Amino acid sequence: MCGIVGYIGKEKSLPILISGLKALEYRGYDSAGIAIFSNDKIEIKKSVGQVKILEKVLKDDIDLVGHLGIGHTRWATHGIPNEKNAHPHNDCAKRIFVVHNGIIENYKEIKEYLQNHGHNFLSDTDTEVVPHLIEDFLKDKKDFHTALLDTLKMIKGAYAFAIIDSKNSDTLYAVKLSSPLVIGVGKHENFLASDPSALVGKTKNVIYLKDGEIAEITKDNINITNLEKQKTHSEIVRLEWDLEQAQKGNYPHFMLKEIFEGPEIVLSALRGRLKGKENFVKLGGLEQVAEKLKETKRLIILACGTSYYAGLVGEYLFEEIAKIPTEVHFASEFRYREEPFEKGTVAIAISQSGETADTLAAIRKAKEHELLTLGIVNTVGSTIARETDAGVYNHAGPEVGVASTKAFISQLIILTLVAVYLSKSNGHSKNHALLQELEKIPKKIKTILDRSSELEKLAEKYKNCDNFLFLGRRYNYPVALEGALKLKEISYIHAEGYGAGEMKHGPIAMISENFPTAAIVPQNSVSEKMFSNLEEIKARKGPIFAIATEGDKRIVSLANDIFFIPKTIEPLEPLLTVVPLQLFAYYVGTKRGFDVDKPRNLAKSVTVE
């Protein structure tokens, strides 16, 4: 998805904008551009492809010395990826420069109106109408702020804009509706970004702009008003992310680094929340709604992609541990449901970024129905974190690899904690074994990571397959779905995840010696049934790669390849079984020669529906 950066302050803006754009590269994009106020005029540079190509274009430009600028990485929606469609876009007089995330739905009518009024358009984008509209309103001798307000009243859709005006070298304008924008607060300098990861290493103090707010940012001041020109209240939030977390360190890819952060991720999700000896889970983020939560009769989990699969594990956890009926919905489908919501229904949104448009829309629908809403979110202060009534942060640090890995692990931990917290047995000895085992998970993940070379060898063996089936049951059914998603998104191998019981109802038709199955078959309450499924696959000559429990002898005669994991209790198995599948996908993707941190067509934070 597109990325926005902006800077105003004492430093030269160009290197700050470039490093911000590089930090946003992981979101996926196809072209980049900047506009800088330099020597009394605004200079603009764009290029197709990566930010390093833009850097090359800029190398010859020693004149770009200004202290105010905006930058953008574009992920094409309206118009193909080329230089003319790359942002920033400007008006006819080259006075107003705009970068935009989101979609302007009524741009065609506006463009037609403006063209009939003499405006000349250079691109195929929806964005370009914005500088021209402001220019048009300015003709009526309005001040810039009023012209901007009139523009916002006319456009429909979702947007985050950063705007600069060549008649005002002191101000960076920022506006948002349904698309995230965050202001980094500095000393004699301020920053702007669509994603807080672009601010890491620059400032830890941020203000998340709210829908319908307009910020006029100078180097020493941030003035935020609403569409009625009234001042709004904005809170400064402290980002806990540090530079080291946002850099690759000695790892070749963020994805590998983030998988290897697993043990630390579990510890930081548990920190201060688990009183193992007292069998007690304490979740500060839920305290304010603790009384209401006691009346919970039903849980609805809303999420997308990997977060949705974590939610599916959550369904088993909530029903087994908290004894609360739970259902999980794709956030994108939830809006079409017309079910009556009884009193006592609680909606839980799970989102790493906290900005996924579908999940946000689903939570808004839940609120319309007056449900209590909770968030399990990694990004502090993000829109979903703010719009839910209460929530629990993952504290997993920035996840940069587009394929979600460490966030999934931390989501599983938080879901387990919330399940115990909601159970009537929080504080009872009944949860002793579970909580004690939770504390052992980091070491167990570490033993898996220490044997990553085994998975690298398996990846070499399977890297040329065209298809892969992933099977699991009960807690490991969502892991099968997640294993398949990981493999397909970074290696482009067609992979399907199934509940093993469903195999005989269709997928078994595909099994042959060229169609391998990854079977998640730890020793647990469903392993007998899993073994029967594997016999059926073996009888049809299907190769089997099994994730099994250390010491399991039976699997040896069934599977062609086995990766052993340490024993744990069934509700916590996904925390271990998913790790080899993440590593397997990573190695297959890299061995096939792909950039696994930036898979084709994918974006890290999906801020359009």
Active-site residue flag, 277: no
Among 90, 190, 359, 431, binds ligand F6R (CB under 6 A): 359
User: Least distance in Å: CB of 571 to ligand F6R?
Assistant: 22
Reported in sequence order, the residue ranges of 152-228 that DSSP labels E, i.e. its strands, are 157-165, 168-177, 182-185, 189-193, 205-208, 213-217, 222-225
User: Least distance in Å: CB of 92 to ligand F6R?
Assistant: 39
User: Least distance in Å: CB of 490 to ligand F6R?
Assistant: 8
| C-beta atoms surrounding 137 within 10 Å | 20
Among 353, 416, 426, 523, binds ligand F6R (CB under 6 A): 353
User: Least distance in Å: CB of 605 to ligand F6R?
Assistant: 6
- Which part of the chain contacts ligand F6R (CB under 6 A), choosing from 17-25, 42-50, 106-114, 350-358? 350-358
User: Least distance in Å: CB of 579 to ligand F6R?
Assistant: 15
Give the DSSP letter of residue 101.
E
Comparison of 98 and 479: residue with beta carbon closer to ligand F6R: 479
Among 34, 182, 403, 415, binds ligand F6R (CB under 6 A): 403
Residue facing ligand F6R at closest CB distance: 305
Residue 404 binds ligand F6R (CB under 6 A): yes
Comparison of 304 and 422: residue with beta carbon closer to ligand F6R: 304
Comparison of 356 and 517: residue with beta carbon closer to ligand F6R: 356
User: Least distance in Å: CB of 599 to ligand F6R?
Assistant: 9
Among 43, 126, 489, 573, binds ligand F6R (CB under 6 A): 489
Comparison of 89 and 253: residue with beta carbon closer to ligand F6R: 253
Contact yes or no for 571/416 (Cβ under 8 A): yes
Instruction: List C-alpha distances in Å: 109 to 44, 113, 117.
Output: 27, 6, 12
Residue 194 binds ligand F6R (CB under 6 A): no
Q: Which of 159, 185, 188, 163 is nearest to 174 (CA)?
A: 163
Q: 345-351 and 372-377 as β-strands: parallel, antiparallel, unpaired?
A: parallel
Among 245, 352, 431, 607, binds ligand F6R (CB under 6 A): 352
Contact yes or no for 60/4 (Cβ under 8 A): no
The order of strands in the sheet holding 168-177 is 89-90, 96-104, 157-165, 168-177, 213-217, 222-225
User: Least distance in Å: CB of 296 to ligand F6R?
Assistant: 23
H or E segment to which residue 277 belongs = none
Q: According to CB under 6 A, which residues from 306 to 325 bind ligand F6R? A: 306-307
- Choosing from 2, 22, 444, 598, the catalytic residue is 2
- Sign of the dihedral defined by the CA atoms of residues 587, 592, 598, 600, in that order: negative
Contact yes or no for 373/349 (Cβ under 8 A): yes
Active-site residue flag, 604: yes
In the shown chain, the binding pattern of residues 40 to 79 toward ligand F6R, with x for contact by CB under 6 A and - for none, equals: ----------------------------------------
Give the distance from CA 211 to its chain's centroid. 20
Comparison of 149 and 409: residue with beta carbon closer to ligand F6R: 409
Comparison of 306 and 527: residue with beta carbon closer to ligand F6R: 306
**Tokens of residue 212, six digits:** 């319908």
- Choosing from 45, 204, 598, 604, the catalytic residue is 604
Residue 476 binds ligand F6R (CB under 6 A): no
Rounded-to-integer distance, Cα 418 and Cα 391, Å: 10
Q: According to CB under 6 A, which residues from 250 to 309 bind ligand F6R? A: 304-307
Comparison of 203 and 353: residue with beta carbon closer to ligand F6R: 353
Rounded-to-integer distance, Cα 340 and Cα 530, Å: 37
If binding means CB under 6 A, how many residues of this protein chain bind ligand F6R? 15
Comparison of 530 and 578: residue with beta carbon closer to ligand F6R: 578
Residues facing 4 on adjacent strands: 72
User: Least distance in Å: CB of 589 to ligand F6R?
Assistant: 12
**Tokens of residue 468, six digits:** 């892969």
Residues 6+ apart with CB under 8 A from 253: 401, 586, 590, 596, 597
Instruction: List C-alpha distances in Å: 39 to 8, 10, 89, 166, 373.
Output: 15, 15, 20, 11, 51
With tokens 């850097």, the residue in question is 55
Residues annotated as catalytic are 2, 604
Report the interface residues with ligand F6R, using CB under 6 A: 304-307, 351-353, 356, 359, 403-404, 485, 489, 605-606
